[in-house]
Amino acid sequence: MVAGLATPTLVALVTVSLFAGVGITAVGPGGVFVTAALYALTAASPGTVAGTASATFVATGLLGSAAYLRSGELAAGPERVAALLLSVAGLVGALVGVRLNALVSERLFGLLLGAFLALTGVLVWYRTRTDRRTANGFDLAGVRGRTLVTAIGFAVGVPSGLLGVGGPVVAVPLLVAAGVPMLVAVAVAQVQSVFVAGFATAGYLVRGTVSFPLAVAIGVPQLVGVVAGWRLAQASDPRRLKRALAVVLVALGPYLALT
């Protein structure tokens, strides 16, 4: 057994983690399923759930960033600056979120996670309605664009640190809703997740709430999924996948909130 988990539970976590990795680089939301699975399937405390999940998102962010750098979405100057602004603002928000996590009870954690999932589902659905209309309406090199990216970074960092859900799950829907092209939004969110998850993990390490055996068990299948998700994003239009994901998120939210 790994981290005291029964084999069926471990298999379920690995399976969820694999598909979560696909979601991270294909459409952005994905890592949130790892957090949800840890909360629903294990007896881990809210701090351990968030800390362990955050640790895996450092690795997925690094691999996702490398993949999108290779495919060109992070090759231009404006995209790299946007990734930096998103990351710096996000890590500040993550530190705030880690602090807040220590004040949250297990019951409140479940309610917040459920509400967060449902809200994310609504954002993802809204994104499918705005992708084509706003694809060319955002200037990453302008002052307004960079200011908005910075604000989104902080707004993403707080729930990422608080709940251990990873940056892309919120950053991508917000960026695309603001007008950033789909693949660029996913790409810069990968960079942000390294910083946000890294600082969040450091905060949870200080509290001793990161389970490394569990992080490895769910992190490896996530990395496999990250590569598959990147290839999927490059080869197909993910609009139908995003809509299906939105439905699942909205349905999963109330379940966790009421568990």
Angle (nearest 5°) at CA 155 between 84 and 85: 10
Q: Which of 182-186, 200-204, 236-240 has the lowest mean pLDDT?
A: 236-240
pLDDT tens for 46-92 read 889 989 999 999 999 999 999 999 999 998 788 889 899 999 998 88
Residue 135 binned pLDDT confidence (cut-offs 50, 70, 90): very low
Site of tokens 């960026």: 175
Of the given ranges (20-29, 60-69, 168-177), which has the lowest mean pLDDT? 168-177
- CB burial string 140-157: b at 16+ within 10 A, e below: beeeebbebbbebbbbbb
Yes or no: say if 227 and 13 are a contact pair by the CB < 8 Å rule: no
Q: What is the DSSP letter of 138?
A: -
The model's confidence at residue 205, banded by pLDDT at 50, 70 and 90, is very high
Average pLDDT, the chain: 85
What is the 8-class DSSP label of residue 1? -
What pLDDT shows up at residue 176? Answer: 79
Mean pLDDT of 8-36: 92
**Mean pLDDT value of segment 128-154:** 74
User: Does residue 23 carry a pLDDT above 80?
Assistant: yes
Higher-confidence residue of 8 and 1: namely: 8
User: Which pLDDT score, from 0 to 100, does residue 24 have?
Assistant: 92
Higher pLDDT, 217 or 173: 217
pTM of the model: 0.83
Q: What is the pLDDT of residue 66?
A: 96
Total residues belonging to the chain: 259
Whether the pLDDT of residue 131 is over 90: the answer is no
- pLDDT band for position 108 (cuts 50, 70, 90): confident
The pLDDT of residue 238? 63
- The pLDDT value recorded for residue 132 is 54
